[in-house]
Structure 1
Amino acid sequence: MTEPVPAKGRYPVGAIALLAIAAALMWGASRMTWVTVSSSDGLAEPRTDALNGGVWFGALTPLALVLLASIAAVLATRGWPRRVIGVLIALVAAVTAVPGFALLIGKGATPERAGALAELPGRATVTEVVTAPFPAALTLIAALAAFAAGVLLARMPEQTARLSGKYDNPVFRKAAATEQVTKQRAGTGQEPVSGKLSERVLWDAIDAGTDPTEDGGSAEQSETQPRR
């Protein structure tokens, strides 16, 4: 008979840890300065605006929250729903990587976009745009961590998840425990089987009405003895 999946094997700890790390890195990157915009309108003093990740990439914070919410979804699902969540997480990771990658290769920070996000007046002219590679790199690392988590979830063995869900159900546990006690008793003859099975199996068998401390002979005798 297939043994129950251990409790610690029911949850993809590695994927959950990667999701938590990715969400934390994305949140941190959203608070850092990505682009510094210097401008002048010919009237007032030159102006400098620092655009953080939440401004430069407006979806960064919401995507970090999505990854946090996905941890709860992973814990609450089994089988193919969890694998679908893994695919969605991989897609979120791909979206997250785009702005950071564009900034690192020098194709994302245009003066027009920087001026619009800094909300400069129409007469102002952008004189300089300085990018910060570190927060963009953090976002890429977060995207890689989230993508790895998505792959782990998408490739999680469906049989393992199904078995873990089965043994979470008390009805299945009690039936499985009764079957184990019966088979163990048949193999040991007249000896009690209480010392040969796990404590959880013994308690589940007792809850199901099967006493594992009885030997096979007494059990058969109690079954064949006529009731008064």
Structure 2
Amino acid sequence: MSERRPLWTVVGLLALASLVLWLSSQMTWTWSQHTDDLRGLVTTKATGDQAETALVPLAVLVLALVAAVVATGGWLRRITGVVVLLSGFGVLWLAANGIGDVLGQHPAGYPAGTVLAAHGLAALAGLAVLAGGTLLVAAGHRMPRLGAKYQSPQAKKPVTDPDRELWQALDSGQDPTARQ
């Protein structure tokens, strides 16, 4: 398995979770009807970003964490993993908040499927964020870091591929043909 695969898995999970969380925030999260003396029966709908105002900021945070994951390394990436885990728990909490109201008795016309789908998408995004955070905490220190190719010569591992040695010699400004 490639060293980069877990990194790109985490990046993909977080980017997808951010998109799904934003989509969920645009769907109907709450719906109610009440009788008003002047207007009669009044239906009130609220999208996710109206009902749970933290949804969009969490989607932006998860997207920003993609950059943090790619730019950090070692123990700092593990700390980023903890932040990702906490964000995932926050998303799951928001998804579960108010789901009991959805499962109760409702008048005709209640969009139960849409409301359940909105909460379900948020829960799915939360699970993806949790999975990414778990990967980061468990294996984040072994994942490659942005710019790792440009580490100091002492930090580089010995190269065993002769073709690659030639290219690295060129990169460092040496003449690979002058070697003995």
Which residues of 2 match residues 31-110 of structure 1 at below 5 A? 31-104=26-99, 106=100
1:205 matches 2:169? yes
Higher RCO, 1 or 2 (CA under 8 Å, sep at least 6)?
Answer: 2
Q: State the secondary structure of the residue aligned to 2:32.
A: strand
1:134 matches 2:117? yes
Aligned equivalents of 2:138, 2:98: Cα separation in 1? 32
Q: Which amino acid letter does the alignment assign opposite residue 203 of structure 1?
A: W
Could you tell me which residue of structure 2 aligns to residue 146 of structure 1?
129
Aligned-pair CA distance for 1:77: 0.9
Aligned equivalents of 2:125, 2:7: Cα separation in 1? 18
TM-score (norm 1): 0.64
* Cα deviations by residue, 1:20-74 (Å, 9 ceiling, x for unpaired): 1111111001000111111122232221111110111110011000011111111
Q: State the secondary structure of the residue aligned to 1:58.
A: coil
Q: Which amino acid letter does the alignment assign opposite residue 153 of structure 2?
A: F
CA contact (8 A) 2:30 2:51 kept: yes
Q: State the secondary structure of the residue aligned to 2:167.
A: helix
* Cα deviations by residue, 1:104-150 (Å, 9 ceiling, x for unpaired): 3x15899xxxxxxxxxxxxxxxx999552110011100000010001
Q: State the secondary structure of the residue aligned to 2:37.
A: coil
Identity of aligned residues (%): 28
Runs of 4 or more, structure 1, over 3 Å off, are 107-110, 127-131, 159-162, 164-167, 206-215
CA contact (8 A) 2:91 2:122 kept: yes
Aligned-pair CA distance for 1:101: 1.7
Aligned equivalents of 2:20, 2:122: Cα separation in 1? 7
* Cα deviations by residue, 1:154-184 (Å, 9 ceiling, x for unpaired): 112525547x865432x417x859x76xxx8
Q: Which amino acid letter does the alignment assign opposite residue 91 of structure 1?
A: L
**What are the ranges of 5 or more consecutive residues in structure 1 without an aligned counterpart?**
1-5, 111-126, 185-195, 216-228
Aligned equivalents of 2:156, 2:119: Cα separation in 1? 52
Could you tell me which residue of structure 2 aligns to residue 158 of structure 1?
141
Aligned equivalents of 1:73, 1:48: Cα separation in 2? 43
Aligned equivalents of 1:159, 1:18: Cα separation in 2? 18
CA RMSD of aligned residues (A): 3.3
Aligned-pair CA distance for 1:92: 0.7
Aligned equivalents of 2:126, 2:15: Cα separation in 1? 12
Q: Which amino acid letter does the alignment assign opposite residue 43 of structure 2?
A: T
Could you tell me which residue of structure 2 aligns to residue 26 of structure 1?
21
Change (3 A) 1:176 1:85: closer
TM-score (norm 2): 0.79
